[in-house]
Every structure is written in C-alpha cells, then in structure tokens.
Amino acid sequence: MAHGGAVVPVIVLLTLCTASALSSGRTEIWNVKENKEVQELGRYAVRERNRRAGGDELVFLCVVRAQSQVVSGFKYFLRIATTASGGQAVRRRSRCFDAVVLVKPWLGSRELLHFLPATSSLSRRR
C-alpha cells in the first residue's frame, strides 16, 4: 500500500516531461540576415509560392526571423519580408509572410509546406 502512492507522482512527472518535450521542439535561429542557408530557403519559398499562385508575384526581400525543428528532416519556420512586383503604378509596400519549408538533406530535397500572411504566432513561439 505504501508503494502505490509513489506511482501517481511519477506518472504525473513523466506526463509533464513528455508534454514539455513535444511542445518545445522549435529552436530559434539567430543572425538570420547573415545566414545564407536561411536566406536561400526564403528565396525558394517565395519562388515556389509565385509558381503555385500564378498571377500576382511577390519579390523576396529577406528572411527576418527563423526557427527550425528536427522532424524526419528539418522544418524551417520563416518570417519573410516581400514586396509586390509591378510597374510604376503599383505602390510597393513590404508585407511579411510566414512560410514552412521541409528540408531532407540526404535526399537533396526541399518542399514548401505553407506560405500565408504573417501572424503573431511565429513571434510568440520560442
């Protein structure tokens, strides 16, 4: 009977540790403006978005924030600054987008998973 009481705290502790490990899988990437790999992934994301969208094209400016997560490869969560392409009549304003790119280096592959207008979720997650 004395040992049964110790099992519950151990189970609760294991559950909390597992939940913490699952929710904190992203790692902040520092110095993104100098990180050539991250900037190239941002360029790729904008090119791929333009290819899929047809019509209105975006022009890549830079990646302003990035996080990575190890999955079956590497998932990059990118905040990308862009402008709209167009002639002189189009007033160029910068807009930010959140993109997710999956990279599998051993296959030499990368895939754009998401490309959406920026939300505050990337800035809140660490």
What are the tens digits of pLDDT across the range 43-84? 999 999 999 998 789 999 999 999 999 999 999 999 999 999
CA angle 14, 18, 23 (to 5 degrees): 150
Q: Where are the alpha helices (DSSP H) in 1-126?
A: 4-23, 36-53, 121-124
The pLDDT score that the predictor gives to residue 119 is 87
Kindly list the structural domains of the chain, giving each domain's residue range(s) and its CATH number in brackets, ordered by start.
26-124 (3.10.450.10)
Task: Report the distance separating Cα 103 and Cα 26, nearest Å.
Answer: 15
Q: What is the pLDDT of residues 13-31, one digit of tens each?
A: 444 444 444 445 999 999 9
- Are 69 and 101 contacting, i.e. CB atoms less than 8 angstroms apart? no
The whole-angstrom separation of Cα 2 and Cα 17 is: 25
* Terminal Cα-to-Cα distance of the chain (whole angstroms): 43
pLDDT at residue 100 in the model = 98
Q: What is the pLDDT of residue 83?
A: 95
Backbone φ and ψ of 15, nearest 5°: -65, -45
